[in-house]
Structure 1
Amino acid sequence: MNEVSTIRDIRLAADGQRKIDWVKQYMPVLNSLRDQYIQERPFAGKKIVICLHLEAKTAYLALTIQAGGGEVAVVASNPLSTQDDVVAALVENGIRAHAWHGATDEEYKVHINKALDFGPDYIIDDGGDLVSTIHTCRRELIGQVRGGAEETTTGILRLKAMSREGKLEFPMMAVNDARSKYLFDNRYGTGQSVWDAILRTTNLVVAGKTVCIVGYGWCGKGVALRARGLGAKIIICEVDPVKANEAWMDGYEVMPMKEAASMADYFITVTGNKNVITKDHFARMKNGAILANAGHFDVEISKQDLSLLAVSKRKVRPNTEEFTLEDGRKIFLLAEGRLVNLAAGDGHPVEVMDMSFALQALALEYLVKNQGLENKVFNVPEQLDNRVALMKLHSLGLQIDSLTSDQAEYLAGWVNE
């Protein structure tokens, strides 16, 4: 066992390795990059800390970067999504790890700092926890960290806020904003994995029921699309008038949260914001309402308000808490209000994460090859985005047309011919 790791039980490694072997066969894009990296070793001599959900797909990304010569340490971005057997398998493969399932808030902070003790040259972040810790508590690492890549919408919002204020001390790649990420990961990945987690957790029917989805970004669109496929009636709550119009034209009901609160059987938050469901909404909900969060942090559903309103609470199923209100109504909260698709499921489908994690690897490679970038948030270059999309098509045996030189010239010009 790697003595510099902090994990639950190394004896679980064999089980974790089987999970990694399973996802590997469904990640052809990452497999192709791994073969390339073994030959070129773009990360040789570089230390990389990865803060993501520690399950098999993430593990294979870490192993791909290791195959490219990188020294890798991993830490969890969410304690409830950590799979201890996968973490053990990573340690068996020579990767440092600081994580275990169900870590307390204090343990989580310790793990983050232990990972940063590794002294990274580059980071891959999910929600901005590494970036935030480096900029607040571990400023001795400023100057050593040369850049990083961010996985989520929530993390990019935080990074852009830092950049606007001139507080960002190294360049970051906005991987979430690449088309090959958000059009697939956020929409199809979130849509499928959220309902997979809810269904396995509750074992209840969706058809004929009303689902309220709070937030109609790409993740919300995916959750709504799958809810429709399951036979639900759908309500969308939004603060963005353009997205609200879009939801209406997609065929969904649109209304304020206070109105929706009394109508829905399921509530799913996907906003990236805090307190979008609070005491005023709980007071209006049906008996048996089910609450789930698909945003990065567990702040979208006010757990404090729900606890204050409840006269009792208990665990009634794995990842399911029952809150009984004074009038006898029961409200059920899934996965402690954390990211439900990972805290109560296995996360996005493997084939979807193949594209997202290929982008992460290519973004990291781009940073290594382009030293001296400004301390701001950069989009993934279009050629890398398109490269991942083409690699995915080729893995499916699909071909597409390409522009002729005359067509490309026409699109680039402005003079009518």
Structure 2
Amino acid sequence: MRKISVLFFFITFVIGTDTFLISPLLPTLRHTYHISADISGWLVSAYALGYVCFALIAGPISDGIDRKKIMIYGLMAFVISTFLCGLAPNFWSMVIFRFIAGISASFVTPQVWASIPHLVKKENIVRSMGYATAGLSISQVIGVPIGSYLAVSSWRIPFFSIAGAAFILLFTIIFMLPSIPSVRQGEKQSLVSTYTQLFVAPRATKYFMAYFLFQLGNFASFSFIGSWFTKDFSLGVAEIGTAMFALGVGNTIGSLFGSSVVKKLGEAKSLFVSLVILIVLYAVLPFSPNLITAEIVLTLVFLIGGFVFPVFMSTMQSLSTTARGTISALSSATMYFGTTIGGILGGILLNHVSGFIGVAWFTTILYIFSLFVYRSSGLFQGTPKPIDHHKMKENTH
């Protein structure tokens, strides 16, 4: 179990580094490509849009094929597309390569979340997801700041480095990861029927809607933290990397050590408390009088974020026992759809509203809506048992 957890950690670390890399590089890329803040949001959104569009297909496919094969082919494409990002000669070529990188990632990371319930005991699911989440967190602690430092020499070097790391990881997966056959392997099922069966599950629609609202607010803010630090605190690209380090530390602590708190509070209460705290923190964030205060508030935000993310994933995985690849892919697609819209709206708000208040309060309002949608779903009154669509199908014959 430990080897698998470590491998999944590195998968999410590499993909996460690539996902979040654009945020601290936005000021540099804006200058390189001579684009405005409004347009620069598309460098974030292109990756997310590619992920969203193809995750919806990758999920159902992975529920009928060995998940290891899906990871291998997806990572091959990821290596190539990320390397090409480092060669992008202009804005639109970068948008295209980021879009393809997003498509590639959509065939990799959802398999991590879908595989965990198959490979670990039920009582260890949240903990294992916490380690996978920690890979995303560490990508901010180490990957993104290092990318920022490397970008001082050339903004292309971080992309080449990620491609190289992913290439090494590809061979590690081939030799270390066991075969992960799907419960429905060999069955033929249309995309429509797969999603129709999933949303038969109680609360599914509201769970995904609440999660979308959360991620829309989350990435509207996260994508432009670096730009805010440059605009209001006059930080350079290397200094942004240092500032992001503290945020990543908070996220990592929440990811690694949050599972014990979740066991005491329960998943539903943990989610409720986390959302309430995040609402308060984002409401006060834009009034930070200096960089140190902003760093403290954002570190707390990221700590809570690292704590609650495995709860989000575990909650949605509880919807079904036989469509976990679809759930994982749809969860990721929901997150990246939020990233797509958040990247566009966040850039507009930052450019047209003084300071960070427009972006932060946009996030605050969306978190409030997310909390109420979760409440209306009945989540805080208890979580129903997951539906086994395979058994349901057998009982109809």
Which band: TM-score by shorter chain? Answer: under 0.3
TM-score, normalization: structure 2? Answer: 0.24
The structure in which a higher percent of residues are strand is: 1
Computing the radius of gyration from Cα coordinates, the structure with the larger value is 1
The structure in which a higher percent of residues are helix is: 2
TM-score, normalization: structure 1? Answer: 0.23
